[in-house]
Amino acid sequence: MRRSREEADELLDRNRGIIDETGLGLYALELKTTEEAIGFCGLTRTDLEPHLPDGTVEIGWRLAERFWGQGHVTEAAKALLIHAFDTLGLDEVVSFAVTTNVRSTSVMRRIGMRHDPVRDFNHPRVPDSHLALKRHVLYSISRSEWQALASRNS
């Protein structure tokens, strides 16, 4: 369901506060050519105990549909992995999505993440009335995997 203007403003204010407090958050994506806001991509701490330990950092994204298929999220996510490992010194970044969300898992694979099937989980905040959306696949990339990838691509 679409958010109202007030709900969207509240979400953005909350997110801005989290970025200020923690250095992590969802960043707006803007097209360089037109300065249009096209979506977001960011790093956040998960709160999904016992599926993921507190403090696990997740990379996530969402793009307005008319901007799909042009590589914008892949570009942003690659830059965020540099930030995560080089600047923030994290040991691992994870990402998860509903099993059938192929567009999202394709981004995960394109940025060098790999599926870690033993960590797949049923999302606790998806109600049992929506069983098809409960199962989530977990992808991850460790600092050493990212470094190996970066040196292969340089």
Ligand X SMILES: CC(C)(COP(=O)(O)OP(=O)(O)OC[C@H]1O[C@@H](n2cnc3c(N)ncnc32)[C@H](O)[C@@H]1OP(=O)(O)O)[C@@H](O)C(=O)NCCC(=O)NCCS
1 versus 21: smaller Cβ distance to ligand X? 1
Q: How far is the CB of 106 from ligand X (least distance, A)?
A: 6
- Cα–Cα distance between 154 and 147 in angstroms, integer? 11
> Tokens 């997110």 correspond to what residue?
15
- Considering the rule CB under 6 A, would residue 57 count as an interface residue with ligand X? no
- Considering the rule CB under 6 A, would residue 69 count as an interface residue with ligand X? yes
- Cα–Cα distance between 74 and 52 in angstroms, integer? 24
84 versus 107: smaller Cβ distance to ligand X? 107
Choose which of 57, 59, 63, 80 interacts with ligand X (CB under 6 A).
63
Choose which of 58, 90, 93, 104 interacts with ligand X (CB under 6 A).
104
CA–CA distances in Å: residue 30 to residues 15, 22, 27, 35: 17, 22, 9, 5
- Cα–Cα distance between 52 and 41 in angstroms, integer? 20
> Could you tell me which residues come within 8 angstroms of residue 136 by beta carbon, excluding any fewer than 6 positions away?
96, 97, 98, 99, 120, 121, 122, 123
Q: Looking only at residues 5 through 44 of this chain, which bind ligand X when binding is defined by CB under 6 A? A: none
Number of residues forming the site for ligand X (CB under 6 A): 18
Q: How far is the CB of 95 from ligand X (least distance, A)?
A: 7
91 secondary structure, DSSP code = S
- CB nearest ligand X: which residue? 71
Cβ(143)–Cβ(90) below 8 Å:
yes
- Considering the rule CB under 6 A, would residue 107 count as an interface residue with ligand X? yes
Q: Looking only at residues 111 through 150 of this chain, which bind ligand X when binding is defined by CB under 6 A? A: none
- Considering the rule CB under 6 A, would residue 46 count as an interface residue with ligand X? no
Residues engaged in binding ligand X (CB under 6 A)? 60-63, 68-74, 97, 101, 103-104, 106-107, 110
